[in-house]
């Protein structure tokens, strides 16, 4: 092409008069010309000197190669469009011409309009092909160089193509290892396969969903995925494009941040917790003294014993509350009374704020039942109270409220739309310095803070957002500079039944028995009281202070043992490891694990029939023992 954009055309014609006529036509049309030349060899020489924009090629030319073969070479080697000229229109010539992929076919003699129209259409088609090729090349480069793991699969999930990042993400060595695999087999959550495909068929797209994938080394990785489906006219899924971003390291950092925040919270509460425990111990020791005195004087002991039981119950709830904040395993959701949860947490929250901050609590939702993890929701409240405290100066005002709201239409929030429905709303409102409008959408991002460096990162709201989102809740924020901020957390209400907080004390006779039980506990006091409870219920108990003693007892009298009750955390061997060792001696030995704190343990993976949380009541121990033994019949 000339500098002015004029197309240059090479004329290949062995009849000089015809060639000159074609050249004159081209010049009148405003094109630049090359040639004419009369053979394929001469044409190649011209093209090597200057590549034209189009070639007009007669089929019958001089030399050892006809125009059809020359056209094929020009098309494949130089990527230039060719229009074939011929006086012959027989089927055999046409079939050969088609194989060379010409951009036009003109029969001699031809008129001027036909020649120009064919040339313009060929030039236009060539420009479109060049643009398409460039676009495909750009897409291919984006596909190959993309940092996310990209793949293409057919309508059944069979992988057709993938990029290097996909291979690296899953640990494959080459594309050949991937082709033909079903994408479903690379995701760990098998139960969600059909849900994922159903959503893709209905919506056509899956946006920013979190998945767990299985790497080739057997490890599990977290990814954030987008998938887009392509459908035929009848709505059938033809293929899908997927884009997976590795979030494993981000998840790990978030978990480390969350754990650090939990530890910071416990550090802040330590003094208050010690005070509460000292109060409870004072109550228990006082009542024990009264019991001794009244016992010697033969007086009734019901009130004192009830006081001890009540104080122990408070200590139990306090301990479990602390574990809920500090433990690292994912907690299980249950039906929770929001009002009760907030009121139970009041004392702990008051210890986190300054004495000159007025904390008001109005837990008055008419339908307070939500399906959440109570420990995580307590952490949400804890984080939000600390952030509110840091945002207020002296004489601040902080209000926590629970109420019900029915949304008849979606409402907007800085984090997206909150759908219509019935909700229990927890609102935390302060009269602090407020949040600038341009920062409202940033406050839930990890590590984002407006606090000075000497105050650290605080109890980041990213933890709040993560927990609420995981609990299928939503957050709305309203803020005014120098007037304060209000966070509203929306949890869908549930019609499920609440689990009773207090277990009715059953008749002990219902849980008596005479079976032989091996009790393994390294704490002498706990072992003694558990053995007393079991023996009073009629059981025959053999005790062991550690795993070694238990193994020796089982080797000597294993056939007589009908149930193993073991502590989880013991020196040299954990409870589930002991169970496996003893079952090699006594196959199928029923077991119960006792523990006050099983750090990083997934209860579903423990090799045991049941788990008993410490501290426990006698009736809880006896009921579980009876349940496990009866289930063996």
Pair 457, 410: CB distance under 8 Å: no
pLDDT tens digits, 31-60: 988 989 989 899 999 899 988 999 999 888
Residues 154 and 122 in one domain: no
Q: Does residue 544 surpass a pLDDT of 80?
A: yes
User: Is 3 inside any structural domain?
Assistant: no
Pick from 269, 282, 361: nearest CA to 324: 269
CA 85, 87, 89, 95 dihedral sign is: negative
- Nearest residue to 614 (alpha-carbon basis) of 572, 575, 582, 581: 575
Q: Tokens in use for 496?
A: 């499920």
2 part of a folded domain: no
Average pLDDT over residues 301-319: 78
Most confident of 104-108, 286-290, 436-440, 486-490: 486-490
467 and 513 fall within a common domain: no
Residue after which a domain boundary falls, among 187, 212, 246: 246
Tell me: do 315 and 341 sit in the same domain: no
Between 498 and 611, whose confidence is greater? 611
Give the end of a domain, one of 141, 163, 184: 141
Average pLDDT for residues 578-599, to the nearest whole number? 85
Q: CA 628, CA 242: separation in Å to the nearest integer?
A: 47
Query: In whole angstroms, how large is the CA radius of gyration of the chain?
Result: 40
Q: What is the pLDDT of residue 67?
A: 85
pLDDT of residue 501: 42
Q: Is the separation of the CB atoms in 488 and 468 below 8 Å?
A: no
**Residue 336: closest CA among 504, 476, 475, 491:** 491
Lowest mean pLDDT among 82-86, 104-108, 117-121, 179-183: 104-108
Mode of pairing for the β-strands spanning 54-58 and 591-595: unpaired
Percent of the chain predicted with pLDDT > 70 = 87
The count of domains in the chain is 5
Length of the chain equals 633
pLDDT over 80 at 566, yes or no: yes
Instruction: Check: CB of residue 595 under 8 Å from CB of residue 614.
Output: yes
Looking at the fold, whether 361 and 469 belong to one and the same domain comes out as yes
Cβ contacts of 393 within 8 Å, gap of 6 or more: 432
Whether 343 maps to a domain, the answer reads yes
Confidence (pLDDT) at 562: 93
Q: How do residues 147-173 score in pLDDT, each as one tens digit?
A: 889 999 998 889 999 999 999 999 998
Helix (H, G, I), strand (E, B) or coil at 405: strand
Whether residues 351 and 467 share a domain: the answer is yes
Claim to verify: residue 13 and residue 132 sit in the same structural domain = yes
> Which structural domain, as residue segments, surrounds residue 258?
250-329
pLDDT at 269: 56
Pure H helices in 100-158: 112-145
Backbone angles phi, psi at 600, to 5 degrees: 60, 25
Query: 276 in a domain, yes or no?
Result: yes
pLDDT in tens, 4-19: 778 999 999 988 888 8
State the pLDDT confidence band at 422, using cuts at 50, 70 and 90: very high
Average pLDDT, integer, range 134-145: 78
Q: Is residue 177 part of a domain?
A: yes
Res 491: pLDDT: 94
Query: Both 363 and 435 in a single domain?
Result: yes
pLDDT of residue 465: 81
Confidence category of residue 328, pLDDT binned at 50, 70, 90: very low
Residues 82 and 157 in one domain: no
What tokens were used for 209? 């969903």
End-of-domain residue from the set 444, 478, 501: 501
Tell me whether strands 159-162 and 421-430 are parallel, antiparallel or unpaired.
Answer: unpaired
CA atoms lying within 13 Å on the CB side of residue 602: 2
Tens-place pLDDT, residues 56-91: 998 888 888 888 888 888 888 888 899 888 876 677
d(CA 414, CA 214): 34
The three-state secondary structure class of 619 is: helix
DSSP strand pairing (516-520 vs 484-492): unpaired
Is the residue at 1 inside a domain?
A: no
Pairing state between β 159-162 and 149-154: antiparallel
**Both structure tokens of 82:** 């060719």
Burial of residue 71 (number of CB atoms within 10 Å: 0-12, 13-18, 19+): buried
Average pLDDT score, the chain: 82
Least confident of 181-195, 251-265, 356-370: 251-265
354 and 447 housed in the same domain: yes
Model pLDDT, residue 453? 44
Torsion angle in degrees (nearest 10) through CA of 129, 132, 133, 136: -160
pLDDT digits (tens, 9 = 90+) for 432-486: 888 888 787 777 765 556 655 445 443 457 778 877 887 889 999 998 888 889 9
Q: Best-predicted range by mean pLDDT among 37-41, 91-95, 353-357?
A: 37-41
Burial (CB count <10 Å: 0-12, 13-18, 19+), residue 622: buried
Peptide bond into 86 cis (omega under 30): no
Strands 104-107 and 82-86 come out as parallel
Q: What is the CATH number of the domain that holds 584?
A: 3.40.50.2300
How much is the average pLDDT of 295-319? Answer: 79
Q: Measured between alpha carbons, how far is 339 from 424 in angstroms, rounded to an integer? A: 10
Tell me the C-alpha distance between 158 and 597, whole Å.
45
Gap between the Cα atoms of 324 and 596, Å rounded: 12
Higher pLDDT, 228 or 350: 228
DSSP string, 544-583: ESSHHHHHHHHHHHGGG--EEEEESS-SSS-HHHHHHHHH
Q: Are residues 240 and 270 in the same domain?
A: no
Percent of the chain past pLDDT 90, that is, above it, reads: 22
Domain annotation covers residue 60: yes
User: In this predicted model, what pLDDT tens digit does every residue of 257-273 receive, in sequence order?
Assistant: 766 766 665 665 565 56
Half-sphere exposure of 214 (CA within 13 A, CB side): 11
Q: At 81, list the tokens.
A: 């469009």
pLDDT tens, residue by residue, 486-508 = 999 999 998 877 655 444 444 55
Q: Are residues 353 and 492 in the same domain?
A: yes
Please state the separation of Cα 363 from the chain's center in Å: 32
Reported as a pLDDT band with limits 50, 70 and 90, residue 323 is low
Give me 291's structure tokens. 């019991």
376-401 pLDDT, tens per residue? 888 788 888 888 888 787 678 999 99
CATH number of the domain residue 468 falls in: 3.30.565.10
Give the domain CATH number at 240.
3.30.450.20
Same domain, 315 and 214: no
pLDDT of residue 436: 84
């Amino acid at each position: 092409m000339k500098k002015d954009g004029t197309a240059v055309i090479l004329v290949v014609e062995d009849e000089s008069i015809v060639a000159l006529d074609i050249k004159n036509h081209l010049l009148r049309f405003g094109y630049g010309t090359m040639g004419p030349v009369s053979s394929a060899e001469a044409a190649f020489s011209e093209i090597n000197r200057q590549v034209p924009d189009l070639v007009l090629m007669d089929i019958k030319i001089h030399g050892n190669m006809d125009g059809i073969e020359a056209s094929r070479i020009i098309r494949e080697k130089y990527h230039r469009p060719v229009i074939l000229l011929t006086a012959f229109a027989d089927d055999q010539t046409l079939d050969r011409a088609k194989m060379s992929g010409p951009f036009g076919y003109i029969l001699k003699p031809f008129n001027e309009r036909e020649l120009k129209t064919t040339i313009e259409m060929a030039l236009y088609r060539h420009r479109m092909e060049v643009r398409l090729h460039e676009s495909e090349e750009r897409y291919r480069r984006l596909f190959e160089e993309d940092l996310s793991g990209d793949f293409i699969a057919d309508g059944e999930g069979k992988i057709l193509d993938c990029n290097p990042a996909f291979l690296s993400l899953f640990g494959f060595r080459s594309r050949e290892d991937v082709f033909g695999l079903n994408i479903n087999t690379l995701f760990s959550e098998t139960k969600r396969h059909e849900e994922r495909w159903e959503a893709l068929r209905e919506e056509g797209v899956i946006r920013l969903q979190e998945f767990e994938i299985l790497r080739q080394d057997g490890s599990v990785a977290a990814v954030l995925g987008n998938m887009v489906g392509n459908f035929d006219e009848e709505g059938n899924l033809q293929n899908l494009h997927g884009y997976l971003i590795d979030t494993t390291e981000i998840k790990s950092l978030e978990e480390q941040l969350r754990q650090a925040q939990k530890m910071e919270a416990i550090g802040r509460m330590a003094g208050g917790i010690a005070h509460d425990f000292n109060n409870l111990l004072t109550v228990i020791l006082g009542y024990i003294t009264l019991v001794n005195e009244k016992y010697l004087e033969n007086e009734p002991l019901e009130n004192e014993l009830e006081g001890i039981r009540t104080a122990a119950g408070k200590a139990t709830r306090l301990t479990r509350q602390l574990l809920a904040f500090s433990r690292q395993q994912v907690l299980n959701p249950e039906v929770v009374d929001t009002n009760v949860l907030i009121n139970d947490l009041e004392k702990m929250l008051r210890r986190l704020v300054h004495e000159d901050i007025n904390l008001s609590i109005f837990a008055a939702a008419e339908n307070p039942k939500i399906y959440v993890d109570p420990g995580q929701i307590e952490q949400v409240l804890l984080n939000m109270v600390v952030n509110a405290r840091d945002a207020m100066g002296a004489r601040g005002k902080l209000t926590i409220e629970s109420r019900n709201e029915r949304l008849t239409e979606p409402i907007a929030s800085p984090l997206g739309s909150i759908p219509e429905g019935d909700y229990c709303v927890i609102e935390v409102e302060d009269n602090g310095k407020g949040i600038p409008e341009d920062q409202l959408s940033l406050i839930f991002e990890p590590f984002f803070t407006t606090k000075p460096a000497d105050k650290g990162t605080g109890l980041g709201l990213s933890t709040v957002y993560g927990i609420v989102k995981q609990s299928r809740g939503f957050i709305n924020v309203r803020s005014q500079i120098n007037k304060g901020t209000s966070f509203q957390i929306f949890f869908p209400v549930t019609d499920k039944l609440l689990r009773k907080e207090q277990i009715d004390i059953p008749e002990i006779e219902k849980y008596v028995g005479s079976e032989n039980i091996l009790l393994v506990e390294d704490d002498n006091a706990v072992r003694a009281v558990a053995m007393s409870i079991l023996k009073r219920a009629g059981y025959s108990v053999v005790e062991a202070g550690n795993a070694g003693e238990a193994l020796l007892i089982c080797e000597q009298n294993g056939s007589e043992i009908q149930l193993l009750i073991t502590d989880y955390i013991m020196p040299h061997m954990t409870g589930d490891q002991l169970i496996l060792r003893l079952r090699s001696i006594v196959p199928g030995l029923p077991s119960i694990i006792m523990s006050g704190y099983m750090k990083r343990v997934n209860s579903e993976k423990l090799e045991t029939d049941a788990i008993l949380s410490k501290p426990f009541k006698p009736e809880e121990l006896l009921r579980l023992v009876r349940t496990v033994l009866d289930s063996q019949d």
